[in-house]
Amino acid sequence: MKTSIRFMSLVVLLVPILIVGCEEVKPTATSALSTATVLPSPTMPPPSATAVSQTINLEKVATLDLPDSFVNTVVFSPDSHTLITGDLNGEALLWERETWEKTIFLPARSTRAEVANIPYWGTLALSPDGNIIVQAYGDNGDVTGRNRAGKELFAFSYGARVYSVEISPDGKLLAVGGLKGNILIFDLETRQPAADLPSDHTLLSNLVFYSDGKMLLANYRQPEHLFTMWDTTSWQAVDTFSLGAGIWAPHDMLFSLDGKQLALANVLDPEIEFLDWATRQSVKVFPEHTETSYQIAFSPDGSLLASAGDDRTLRLWDMKTGVNFKTIRANNLALAVAFSPDGTLIAFSVLGAGVQVWGITR
């Protein structure tokens, strides 16, 4: 939502899928997924030091087989009954819980050659009420919004490849940014453009709304790594800061549930960094990944962080202690990750293989 293939070129072989309408297919096993294992952290402290993590168990509940896939977005519906996956090739799939049968929401639109050098960033978002699925695709940044039945509700062009699509916590605003550096704001209630936020910088890689929706944070890569905070009422830039040119280039960034910290998965460093939002100072680091993380996600109650990484692991962290208490190993890069809103499932994608879904019990 992430070496770095999210920014550096990566040749990915994706098989185009030519399907008209909706088709339901039962998932099958894939070797890269089925060989995953769950390992305890070698640095796990005694139970008294990490009460939350010591009560958690993981069990794989589904293997969603997608050979040659590059799933860069996974998101659960608000009722936790449907998993939505978005692929770099434009394909969007709906997976129903329990049966894990899939419905093709949008078919693939790319050939292998066309997606070979496209960066990683996720380009699919779901509105908080689960009624609008937004997708950005292609060199022109074509953005479309559809209801769950597949009916197109709106469409517009960003004018360049999109690297981030974000919906505000109240579901009223859609923010789109990418290669050009400007941010397009779209009103999801009126279905009309609301603002175009210019910038002297290009390659906007990440957008994230503050927890109360009153601010929008943007990260720009070129010519230097800058963060800008935009007021969502006036659409004025209220703060611009840098954490060190050439150092802070996040694959992903998230505000904690209380808005007090900003979590960063950095392109150039395997460590996950947490900034105190008031001071912009580092307050803690999660160091266990041996390669960069692509995407991070907080559990619904904020007690856990999940990180999917280039080191072929999905790691679970206890936010109170900073302990990496569970590690799931796969046979390829772990890309996108999401918790279900009810906190009972975690899903993450594996390059060239598909998606793993794990049950969480406490």
Confidence of residue 135 (pLDDT cuts 50, 70, 90): very high
Q: Which residue has the higher pLDDT, 144 or 12?
A: 144
- Whole-model pTM? 0.84
Q: Which residue has the higher pLDDT, 249 or 115?
A: 115
34 pLDDT exceeds 60? no
Edge-to-edge order in the sheet of strand 133-137: 124-126, 133-137, 142-146, 152-157
Report the range of poorest mean pLDDT among 47-61, 117-131, 215-229: 47-61
The arithmetic mean of pLDDT across residues 270-277, rounded, is 89
For residue 232, what pLDDT is reported?
Answer: 97
Confidence of residue 115 (pLDDT cuts 50, 70, 90): low
For residue 51, what pLDDT is reported?
Answer: 56
- Structure tokens belonging to residue 247: 């150092």
For residue 293, what pLDDT is reported?
Answer: 83
For residue 286, what pLDDT is reported?
Answer: 92
Radius of gyration for the alpha carbons in the chain, expressed in angstroms and rounded: 19
| Cis peptide bond N-terminal to 223, omega within 30 | yes
Amino acid at 282: S
The arithmetic mean of pLDDT across residues 66-71, rounded, is 92
For residue 239, what pLDDT is reported?
Answer: 92
- Please give the mean pLDDT across all residues of the chain: 84
Confidence of residue 120 (pLDDT cuts 50, 70, 90): low
The pLDDT > 70 percentage for the chain reads 80
For residue 121, what pLDDT is reported?
Answer: 75
Query: How many CB atoms sit inside 10 A of residue 240's CB?
Result: 14
| Coil, strand or helix at 85 | strand
The arithmetic mean of pLDDT across residues 87-103, rounded, is 96
Instruction: Evaluate whether 134 touches 165 at the Cβ level (below 8 Å).
Output: yes
For residue 119, what pLDDT is reported?
Answer: 65
Q: Calculate the alpha carbon distances from 59 to 91, 218, 256, 346, 362 in Å.
A: 28, 36, 26, 10, 12
35 pLDDT exceeds 50? no
211 pLDDT exceeds 70? yes
pLDDT in tens, 174-188: 999 999 889 999 999
For residue 122, what pLDDT is reported?
Answer: 75
